[in-house]
Structure 1
Amino acid sequence: MISIVNFEHDKLVIKQWQLLEKENWCVLGRNGSGKQYFNQLLIGELLPTKVEQLTLPAKDKVAMISFEAQQDIYEETLEKIAPDYADINGAMIKAKNFLPEDKWHDPLIGEFGLSQRLDTSYLQLSTGESRKLLILQAIFKGIDLLVCDNPFDSLDIASCQALSDALAGLSQTGITVLLLLNNRQDIPTWFDNVAFIERGQFSVIGKLTDADTKNQLDVLLTPAPDDAPWPDTVQQLADYQHTLLVELIQGTVRYGGVSVFENLDVSIKPLQHTLITGANGSGKSTLMQLITGDCPQCYSNNIHVLGYKRGSGESIWELKAQMGIVSAELHRQYRVSVDLLTVILSGFYDSIGLYQKPSEKQLAIAEQWLEKIGLSAHKQQLFQQLSYGEQRLALVARALVKSPYLLILDEPTQGLDELNRHRVLNFLEHLATQKHSTMLLVSHRQDELLSIFEQHIKL
């Protein structure tokens, strides 16, 4: 199906690689390693400067499912509906509109866990649900090669297993599945072969069952020592005067008559770091949006945040000035053409872009965070030119620059490779020792259930 010999491009080099029918390959790589250029090669958009042999499937027989593709479709969907889309469930573009009508009752939709979501507005789907929908769309188009870039990110444990089983079934029907992953832990047990990309160099590692393969990957993914000093903080928790940071009493959210959650009580004290878990669609992100004020129904609920009762005349900007936020929604919204340093600095002002001159102190802290996340060399690069994982890492730093009282992290490690994911978790453990930010973390990953979390909310 694919045969490549001595492929050369200034962004990607492949000495020799073959993917045969019914083979299962996983390609591992760190954030910024060049996986996006490998994607472009597979769909015929990256042309070699020199090549000895290059055999690829026809472009219309290849489907690429990635965070970037989801972002593009999300933006296209926004453009198709009315400018005022506050009631996203009222938008006419439903999940089922992405699938052929004669496939709306296909058993595969049930296997992907979407049978009950077809009449939902596409914009109301979770990141994981929209990804599964796009995979189904590709399958129903009759593709030969399905390329999935980190398909298990943002899926709960049951959904990960269900998706893995569904993909395994596809590989038996003539559709070849190729996974591009950031984390070894995400490789399904039924995969056979692994390759690795580092700085644009593609290397075949071997069979996943071989001890030598494991040893090579251990060497390639050993973290470098982190000697960068911790950035300065700009405020201390001693300045906070209230007993609770968040209090939600009998919280209820409904869209179009469908309940997201009902009668939910939540209270969070200063330094009561809180973990939030639950199945996809259980309302985790909605709860976060109630707290941040990004869910309009916050004003019809009895909720106090940072000493203010919602709907009592408070300014949303007064509240966000004391919050740091990382979420898929923020990532989707950050579409302005600015450099990386500007993105970090915008965290001081809770803005998308930067519209006032930062102080010398703010510049220094932003530079310190760029060094801490390992992206100092990219500070003048446009945000949109970075890989998805590098963008997410930058948004984590953006949330941390102002030492917020309340740090809201809705799957912050989505799209990060295993080294950067552990780097972010290390940030959280360090922040816990500083005793100034209270963390709310939404996560599906078992290896992110840190001991710093004193409260666990299961939705």
Structure 2
Amino acid sequence: MHTPLITLNNISVRFTNSTLFTQLCFEIRQGQNWAITGKSGSGKSVMLQAIAGNVGINGGSIIYHFMDDVHKLYSDADALLTFHRFIAFAGAKHHFKTLSNTADFYYQQRYNSSDSEDTLTVRQYLQSVKVNTHAPAYWTFDKTVAALNLTTLCDKQTIKLSNGETKRLIIAAALLKNPVLLLLDNPMTGLDVETRKSFNVLLNEIAASGISIIMATSTHELPDVVTHVAVLDNGAISQSLTKKEFEVSEHNTINKTTVDGEALKALLNTSATQHHYKQIVSMTDVLIKYGEKVILNKVNWQINPGERWALLGHNGAGKSTLLSLINGDNPQAYANNIILFDKKRGTGESIWDIKSKIGFVSPELYQYFPTDNSCLQVIESGFYDTLGLFRPGNKAKADLALSWMKALEIEQYARQLLKNIPASAQRLCLLARALIKNPALLIFDEPCQGLDDHQQQHFKSVVDAICSISNVTLIYVTHYQHEIPDSVDKVLRLDKGEVVS
């Protein structure tokens, strides 16, 4: 029988103003690698944070059995040799800093060359990781960089990384610590198909190097390395079984979703200004370079009113840069032949003129969006295209925000601060913020990240309903074919900055 690594004995955890766990029990033994699954908001991420020591427990205890061996090996070690050094956590959000050691990033910084130079490169970021000198150094810098496919990115500023590249970097930083226990919070989200395949192989090598893995993940993404599965439900582990015993079909959280078409039609008419444009987007031979690095190479794209596009491509293919040209965030738009909403860029229109016509959401927006507003305030801020509400609330707009929350099944969070609700609900709030002003163009960049099956299916149904009763134009980005709404019927695919289909 394998010896225990950690044991959670009847732990209770309060997160913000609610109790997530009461008398939660869990144990991981040597040679085991666990997947923690469950509906959105069930506490998967908080459970990992509690194990990592990043969230305090209010009752019970967590026993780190592996520390017994550590103390035997390093009997004269300093008093700071705690379990924290032997656990690495790779979360959903990064904590990059500027060269002046602050975290004062802003959303558009990645597109402004002078400002982005104030950020660490991938190499500098990884070299700043505090390596545990009391652990065997199997995962060296060179080995880790190669394994996470970061070699060609070493001199790139962290702020300029794509969502998937950022995910790989966060995991690399965790791996460099050569931990006893590696905690991964939804590690597959944001990764393209090929990267997910190679990551599956990497996890096997990590386990073979003696590191045990616990990951929060969807039931549909259980890598080969997983030996056991625990299902979280209502603050407790409802099932704990081997992967062979686990039946994915029994844990399908998709329920039949219904969308109130009349209520949605009323919402779309409430803020209705009819959109009359000949062209939504027209790009001709668009070229974007940073130094000698070509990001987009002679891209041509025509988007007409009412069209619904999928924008596809691997991590780092140039999708986010292409969207930044449409959303008014990238100053290189002025040096290119780009028409937005019938106006050529650089002919007197402001960024705010452009943004007023677009509803936008992306992983980067989620990363940088301030979280100290209430959810109603966050959604109302969509009227003003600001990252948060910086003016007194308007009752009519707040009522409309609440109606959109009901449409997305998150009205229970209306008065709570954004930072105090589950990550999945935070993302849905930002989706409601994109929808509230009934824009001419919706840009949804990986909108279903972090949503469970039911939430994904319901959101798709809402998008399809909106497309069926309005002339809204849609650009939809995802790495998962099943997430694409049925209303999407056109595709632009990028590969290394060039259009391939």
| Matches of 1:78 and 1:122, distance apart in 2 | 14
Q: Residue 382 of structure 2 aligns with which residue?
A: 347
Q: Residue 145 of structure 1 aligns with which residue?
A: 181
Compared with structure 1, are the counterparts of its residues 56 and 439 closer, same or farther at alpha carbon in structure 2 (3 Å cutoff)? farther
Report the Cα offset of residue 362 of structure 1: 2.4
Compared with structure 1, are the counterparts of its residues 104 and 298 closer, same or farther at alpha carbon in structure 2 (3 Å cutoff)? farther
Compared with structure 1, are the counterparts of its residues 46 and 99 closer, same or farther at alpha carbon in structure 2 (3 Å cutoff)? closer
Letter in 2 for 1:214: V
Which TM-score applies when normalising by structure 2? 0.83
Which TM-score applies when normalising by structure 1? 0.91
Q: How does 1:223-238 map to 2 (within 5 A)?
A: 223=255, 226=258, 229-230=263-264, 232-234=267-269
Letter in 1 for 2:431: V
Compared with structure 1, are the counterparts of its residues 378 and 167 closer, same or farther at alpha carbon in structure 2 (3 Å cutoff)? same
Query: Which deviates the most, 447-456 or 113-122?
Result: 447-456
Q: Residue 90 of structure 2 aligns with which residue?
A: 65
Q: Residue 102 of structure 2 aligns with which residue?
A: 79
Q: Which among 319, 340, 343 is matched to residue 308 of structure 1?
A: 343
Q: Which among 6, 20, 30 is matched to residue 2 of structure 1?
A: 6
Does the residue aligned with 1:141 lie in a helix, a strand or coil?
A: coil
Q: Which among 90, 99, 102 is matched to residue 117 of structure 2?
A: 90
Compared with structure 1, are the counterparts of its residues 457 and 14 closer, same or farther at alpha carbon in structure 2 (3 Å cutoff)? farther
Q: Residue 44 of structure 2 aligns with which residue?
A: 35
Measured on the aligned residues, the alpha-carbon RMSD in Å equals 2.7
Aligned-pair identity (%): 26
Q: Residue 198 of structure 1 aligns with which residue?
A: 233
- 8 Å CA contact retained: 1:251, 1:265: yes
Compared with structure 1, are the counterparts of its residues 363 and 234 closer, same or farther at alpha carbon in structure 2 (3 Å cutoff)? farther
- 8 Å CA contact retained: 1:404, 1:436: no
Q: How does 1:170-319 map to 2 (within 5 A)?
A: 170-181=206-217, 183-210=218-245, 213-214=247-248, 216-218=250-252, 221-223=253-255, 226=258, 229-230=263-264, 232-234=267-269, 239-319=274-354
Compared with structure 1, are the counterparts of its residues 358 and 187 closer, same or farther at alpha carbon in structure 2 (3 Å cutoff)? same
Does the residue aligned with 1:402 lie in a helix, a strand or coil?
A: coil
Compared with structure 1, are the counterparts of its residues 82 and 245 closer, same or farther at alpha carbon in structure 2 (3 Å cutoff)? closer
Letter in 1 for 2:452: D
Compared with structure 1, are the counterparts of its residues 244 and 169 closer, same or farther at alpha carbon in structure 2 (3 Å cutoff)? same
Letter in 2 for 1:296: P
Compared with structure 1, are the counterparts of its residues 322 and 77 closer, same or farther at alpha carbon in structure 2 (3 Å cutoff)? farther
> Which structure 2 segments of 5+ residues have no match?
14-18, 67-82, 129-136, 495-501
Letter in 2 for 1:131: K
Q: Residue 77 of structure 2 aligns with which residue?
A: none
Report the Cα offset of residue 11 of structure 1: 2.5
Report the Cα offset of residue 64 of structure 1: 1.1
Q: Residue 159 of structure 1 aligns with which residue?
A: 195
Report the Cα offset of residue 104 of structure 1: 8.0
- 8 Å CA contact retained: 1:13, 1:202: no
Residues 367-411 of structure 1 deviation map (CA, whole Å, 9 limit, x = unaligned)? 111112222121111112222221111100110111111001111
* Corresponding position: 1:390 with 2:394: no
Residues 229-249 of structure 1 deviation map (CA, whole Å, 9 limit, x = unaligned)? 436114799933322100010
Residues 105-124 of structure 1 deviation map (CA, whole Å, 9 limit, x = unaligned)? 62442231111001100111
Report the Cα offset of residue 89 of structure 1: 5.0
Report the Cα offset of residue 56 of structure 1: 5.8
- 8 Å CA contact retained: 1:17, 1:204: no
Q: Residue 423 of structure 1 aligns with which residue?
A: 458
Letter in 2 for 1:163: F
Does the residue aligned with 1:384 lie in a helix, a strand or coil?
A: helix
Q: Which among 8, 15, 32 is matched to residue 23 of structure 1?
A: 32
Count of aligned residue pairs for this structure pair? 453
Letter in 2 for 1:112: L
- 8 Å CA contact retained: 1:252, 1:263: yes
Compared with structure 1, are the counterparts of its residues 184 and 321 closer, same or farther at alpha carbon in structure 2 (3 Å cutoff)? same
| Matches of 1:93 and 1:214, distance apart in 2 | 41
Residues 334-384 of structure 1 deviation map (CA, whole Å, 9 limit, x = unaligned)? 215210000111111111222345554423321111112222121111112
Compared with structure 1, are the counterparts of its residues 237 and 390 closer, same or farther at alpha carbon in structure 2 (3 Å cutoff)? closer
Q: How does 1:377-416 map to 2 (within 5 A)?
A: 377-416=412-451
Letter in 1 for 2:45: Q
